[in-house]
Amino acid sequence: MSEPFFFTWSKQRGTTGVEMVGGEGCFFDTADGARWLDLGSLVYSANLGHGHPRMIAAIKAQADRLCLSMPKSVFPEKRALAERLLALAGKGFTKVFFTLGGSEANENAIKMARLATGRFKVLSRYRSYHGATMGALSLSGDYRRPPLEPALVGAIKALDCYCDRCPFGQSLASCARECATHVDDVLRMEANVAAVFLEPVPGANGVLVPPEEYWPLVRAACDQHGTLLVADEVLTGFGRTGNWFAHQRWGVTPDMITLSKGLTGGYGVLGAVLVHERVASRFEDETLLAGLTQYAHPLGVAAALEAMAIYEEEGLIDNAEKLSGPFAAGLAALREAHACVRFSRSLGLLGALELDLDDAGFNKLGAALKDRHVHAFLRPTDRALILAPPLCIDEAILADGFARVGAAIAEAS
């Protein structure tokens, strides 16, 4: 049936939607009576799982308390959330800028970087996704950008740390971290770059886990060239990789952190930019030329505040870290069992399989996953299957998931 609204990122003809009617934990239910295993956390967002009673109650209570606001409104939940997020980001982070989602978080980080440095160029990587709005899309390296160019003037790109297919022809065992020195080279040759935007682990572009030294080396290069470093944690934030924020694993302090998705666990509409004092202080006496009508909407704020409490009280971040090993082992077992699986990669509960399948095989894999009621991401351009289950998953559900995925791969290959 043709719908009276657009489906995103799709040819409209032939695209059908998913009529979700509810869910619980790692599963969601559809109108046809099926129960799906959600190995994608919807769109990498449902970190807390489905149908969480506390989230629903918190949003209802906020609707009763205060449901309308304007950008300059002050209310206790807004202050409490900002304080909580700054504490999570660590020493030196002093201000939060709220948005409605991840693209706008990056959009506003570009603006702050430009205003704070007086420079206009922004560097990101080819295998990256930073959002659908024009500024964020200009940062994005993947197939979604070129048809919509011209991009933002000054949006420049670097090659990736893609260890399984190293663009510098190296192997992880013997390389000199050329991916990081390349960023340093580009910053030097381009000169006057305002900011480098990096996903700690590029997610939708294939879960490219960087070598341990990459982030510290890029931080040093940024410092050397007077360039700001922005961690796009929209997908990796809030436990996805086993830390509150993925970059914290490498002991690096970025200048800004952009957030959304897990910020509300998908229950609310909210994004944020966490800003280090180094940048925030610029706007004490200079006008911050940024704002949104629905800045810090109370329902989104209440959802995020409750989400923070649930992550902590239910130990979800620790669970992601604890299951990191079994998750990686399950992916590796699929690689060993199926000749068409070339590579497996993961960090925390974010993983990918790269498959040697032609178009027909890849389409067959999509159908086979659907038949088994498994929700996950298939990236035809990279022939990747990406898995990112809710952080409340346990070993038994994980094993069920890998069994279903294995059967689907067997059917497709």
260 binds ligand PLP (CB under 6 A): yes
**174 versus 293: smaller Cβ distance to ligand PLP:** 293
Residue 73's CB is within 10 A of a number of other CB atoms, namely 13
By CB under 6 A, tell whether 234 contacts ligand PLP.
Answer: yes
The contact mask relative to ligand PLP for 280-319 (x = CB under 6 A, - = no) is ----------------------------------------
129 is an interface residue for ligand PLP by CB under 6 A: yes
- Of 24, 22, 23, 26, residue with least CA distance to 393: 26
Who's near 26: CB < 8 A, 6+ residues apart?
37, 38, 49, 50, 389, 390, 392, 393, 397
d(CA 384, CA 362): 9
By beta carbon distance, the residue nearest ligand PLP is 102
* 142 scored as a contact of ligand PLP (CB under 6 A): no
Among the listed residues 101, 262, 268, 389, the single contact to ligand PLP using CB under 6 A: 101
**What part of residues 391-410 is at the interface with ligand PLP (CB under 6 A)?**
none
What are the CB-based long-range contacts (under 8 Å, 24+) for 403-408?
404/37, 404/369, 404/372, 404/373, 404/374, 405/39, 405/334, 405/369, 405/374, 405/376, 406/334, 406/337, 406/338, 407/368, 407/372, 408/365, 408/368, 408/369, 408/371, 408/372, 408/374
Q: What residues contact 226, with CB distance under 8 A and at least 6 apart?
A: 117
Taking a C-beta distance cutoff of 8 angstroms, is the pair 102, 260 a contact?
yes
Q: Using the rule CB under 6 A, which residue among 131, 262, 265, 330 binds ligand PLP?
A: 131
The verdict on 103 binding ligand PLP (CB under 6 A) reads yes
Judged by CB under 6 A, the residue of 232, 306, 354, 382 near ligand PLP is: 232
> How many CA atoms lie within 13 Å of 321's alpha carbon, on the beta-carbon side?
13
278: which 2 tokens?
């180094």
Site membership for ligand PLP, residue 255 (CB under 6 A):
no
- Residue 237: how many CA atoms within 13 Å on its side-chain side? 26
Between residue 26 and residue 55, which ones bind ligand PLP under the rule CB under 6 A? none
Which of the residues 160 through 179 are near ligand PLP (CB under 6 A)?
none
DSSP label at residue 391 = T
| 130 binds ligand PLP, rule: CB under 6 A | yes
Q: CA-CA distance, 69 to 71, in Å (whole number)? A: 7
Choose between 103 and 108: whose C-beta lies nearer to ligand PLP: 103
Nearer Cβ to ligand PLP (108/319): 108
User: For ligand PLP, which stretch binds (CB under 6 A), given 69-77, 130-138, 223-231, 239-247?
Assistant: 130-138
Q: Is 338 in the site for ligand PLP (CB under 6 A)?
A: no
| 154 SS3 class | coil
Return the number of the residue (210 or 334) whose C-beta is nearest ligand PLP.
210
Number of residues forming the site for ligand PLP (CB under 6 A): 15
Q: Using the rule CB under 6 A, which residue among 49, 141, 200, 203 binds ligand PLP?
A: 203
Task: Give the range of 100-108, 177-185, 223-231, 352-360 binding ligand PLP by CB under 6 A.
Answer: 100-108
Tally Cβ neighbours within 10 Å of residue 5.
7
Q: Does 200 bind ligand PLP (CB under 6 A)?
A: no
Q: Is 206 in the site for ligand PLP (CB under 6 A)?
A: no
Please state, in angstroms and as integers, the Cα–Cα distance from residue 56 to each residue in 62, 280, 313, following that order: 10, 34, 17
- Distance, in Å, from the CA atom of 376 to the CA atom of 364, rounded to the nearest integer, reads 14
With CB under 6 A as the contact rule, which of the stretches 6-14, 126-134, 179-187, 238-246 interacts with ligand PLP?
Answer: 126-134
Token pair recorded at residue 300? 């989104």
Contact with ligand PLP (CB under 6 A) among 39, 82, 161, 204: 204
SS3 at position 341: strand
Q: Does 102 bind ligand PLP (CB under 6 A)?
A: yes
Interface positions with ligand PLP (CB under 6 A) = 101-103, 106, 129-132, 199, 203-204, 232, 234-235, 260
